[in-house]
Amino acid sequence: MRPLGEIERLYDEHAQSIFAFLLNFTRDEHDTRDLLQEIFVKIAREPHLLENVRNERAYLIRLARNAAIDFIRRRDTRDRSRENVAVEQVSIFAKTSDPDEATFRKELSVALADLPEEQGTVAYLKLWEGLTFEEIAEILEISPNTAASRYRYALDKLRERLRPLYKEITNRTQ
């Protein structure tokens, strides 16, 4: 096990990013908490996981992605066995008192959730994690060109969907 201080450091430095990344996948705060805990317990149990890792953030995001994909599969199976599951999706963005901003964030969050998983992940990592295409490619085990093209597709879809709202807000603020 890593000493608890080391786990604390990892948590303080990376938990916020992993949380938002996971929330983008699950759209459920309770599920996100469970997954976040699962990841830190895993790190505590298996100290060798982070040995010789150059980019801790990238590695943790990869762990989070794998855990989230497994979780989504389990949840889909579980939800299929139940009927008419209607859970309200949680926004990955912070709340705001500005109504225009609140509307934009809500629409953006929904549009992001509607993207195919591979495009949404690349868009999230590029826009809100500020990673390069090379770093994204390493995390997702794809080529940088593929990462770049997925990003372009994602951005086009988001812009297309949010254009009316975006123009309205932009015109109002000008």
Partner 1 sequence: MNEETESFEQRLRRQPLRPLPTEWRREILEAASEACPVQPGEIVSRYSFLSELRRRFASVLWPHPVAWGGLAVVWALIFAVNISTQDKPANMAVKALPSPEVIGQSPEQQRLYAQLMGFQLTGSDDPSNPDRQKAIPPKPRSERIEFETKAAL
CA gap 107, 161 in Å, rounded:
9
- Of the pair 20, 113, the CB lying nearest partner 1 is at 20
Residue 19 binds to partner 1 (criterion: CB under 8 A): yes
Torsion angle of the four alpha carbons 51, 61, 41, 44, in this order, in degrees rounded to the nearest 10: 20
Residues 71-130 within binding reach of partner 1 (CB under 8 A): 90-95, 104-105, 108, 127-128, 130
Q: How far is CA 51 from each of CA 1, 33, 47, 139, 146, rounded to the nearest angstrom? A: 12, 25, 7, 17, 28
Site size with partner 1, rule: CB under 8 A: 41
Largest Cα–Cα separation, the chain: 55
CB–CB of 27/90 below 8 Å? yes
Structure tokens at 119: 């495009």
Residue 1 binds to partner 1 (criterion: CB under 8 A): yes
> Which of 29-37, 66-74, 81-89, 138-146 is the region at the interface with partner 1 (rule: CB under 8 A)?
29-37
> Which of 45-53, 65-73, 75-83, 139-147 is the region at the interface with partner 1 (rule: CB under 8 A)?
45-53
Q: Which three-class secondary structure state does DSSP give residue 113?
A: helix
Name the nearest CA neighbour of 70 among 112, 115, 39, 49.
Answer: 39
Residue 55 binds to partner 1 (criterion: CB under 8 A): no
Residue 41 binds to partner 1 (criterion: CB under 8 A): yes
Q: Least distance (Å) from partner 1 to the CB of residue 70?
A: 19
Interface contacts to partner 1, rule CB under 8 A: 1-4, 7-8, 11, 15-16, 19-20, 23, 29, 33, 36-37, 40-41, 43-45, 47-48, 51, 90-95, 104-105, 108, 127-128, 130, 155, 158-159, 162, 166
